[in-house]
Amino acid sequence: MNLHYVQHVPFEHPGTILTWAKQQGCSLSRTLMYEDSSRFPQQKDFDWLIVMGGPMNVDEEALYPWLKKEKKFIAESIKEGKVVVGICLGAQLIAAVLGGKVTKNPCKEIGWFPISFDDEAQTMPLFSQFAKEMMVFQWHGDTFSELPQEARCLAKSIGCKNQAFVYRRRVFGFQYHLENTAEIIHDLLLHCADELVPDTYVQTQEEIVSHPEYMEQAQLNMGRFLDGLDALYKKGEI
């Protein structure tokens, strides 16, 4: 299987997704949007697309002209029937190209907070293995406040009504992060420290780094999701 990922900033890479892909023997390729020489592959050259997070907003095309090109690539990948997984900004970009609405969330979420899956999500093969409530890492100010047609919400939190969605069985958007490693969180705290303005759902740096057990569980859950997705893909059920 050929897995391609799009990375927007040096400090938000796919983390445990890369570890999983290498263990599975996947062929890996990438587009680094922060490099002038960045190029997207031909659709025939990959099977899965992973779209990572980043500090920019989906509508900042004047500051980041490559956003327009990336949106077109995401839309083409969905049209071609690729498995597409978006995380944070990546999920927002997917929602935007499918006709959803991305806006400021009522509050920022930064740190470890619980999400809850709805009852229908827990009957789906990919999500039935998870507890109804799951602790995840958040770092966002915007969100997909209105989902695209045919997309359905899978999970929510007290601070954000849409935390995950699925579109046509093989396109997934996650507002939260399961892929993070200690290195990624360290780099986020280094490069985005100015966002840690005290608020209801903004934790301190000390709170964020004091829960290695949350990190370990999140990484396990990332592996479980990818294993389940891979199994369904190989069976031709998505």
- Considering only 24-28, 127-131, 217-221, which range has the smallest mean pLDDT? 127-131
Residue 80 annotated among the catalytic residues of the structure: no
Look up the pTM and report it.
0.97
Q: Is 182 exposed, middle or buried (0-12, 13-18, 19+ CB in 10 A)?
A: exposed
Distance CA 44, CA 77 (A): 10
Distance CA 4, CA 228 (A): 19
Task: Please give the average per-residue pLDDT across 120-136, as a whole number.
Answer: 94
Residue 192 annotated among the catalytic residues of the structure: no
List the catalytic residue out of 4, 13, 140, 177: 177
List the catalytic residue out of 8, 13, 26, 88: 88
Residue 6 has pLDDT above 90, yes or no: yes
Please measure the distance between the N-terminal and C-terminal CA atoms of the chain and give it in whole angstroms: 15
Residue 88 annotated among the catalytic residues of the structure: yes
For residue range 151-208, what is the model confidence (pLDDT) as tens digits? 999 999 999 999 999 999 999 999 999 999 999 999 999 999 999 999 999 999 999 9
List the catalytic residue out of 12, 70, 109, 179: 179
CA gyration radius, the chain: 17
